[in-house]
Amino acid sequence: MEYVYAALLLHKVGKPVNEEHLHKVIQATGATVNESKIKSIVASLHGVDIDAEIANAVIASAAPASGGASAKPAEEKKEEKKAEESAAGLSSLFG
C-alpha cells in the first residue's frame, strides 16, 4: 500500500511517477525497498490518468454513502418496533 501512497504523493507534487522517484520516496520513509513492487506499480500506472481515476473514486465512494444514510432510519424504526413488541409481550405475563 505504501507504494500506491508514494505514487499518489509524487503525482500530487507534480513529479513523474517512475522507478527512480518511487525508490527515493520509499527509501525516505525508512521502509525496505522492494524493486519488483516498484516496477509493478510503474507498469500498472503507465498510461493511466491519475486525476481521472481519483475523480472516479470520489464519485464511487460518495454514492454508497448517500444510500447508507437513508437505510439507518429504517433500521432504527425496526428496533423501536421490536422494543414495543417485547414490552407488549411482557405485559401479557402479568395479566
CATH of 1-48, one of 3.90.550.10, 1.10.10.1410, 1.10.1740.10, 1.10.40.30: 1.10.10.1410
Tell me what pLDDT residue 68 has.
Answer: 52
Confidence grade of residue 64 (pLDDT, cut at 50, 70, 90): low
pTM, two decimals, is 0.60
Hey, what amino acid is at 4? V
pLDDT digits over 19-30, tens only?
Answer: 999 999 999 999
CA distance 32 to 80: 53
CA distance 43 to 55: 21
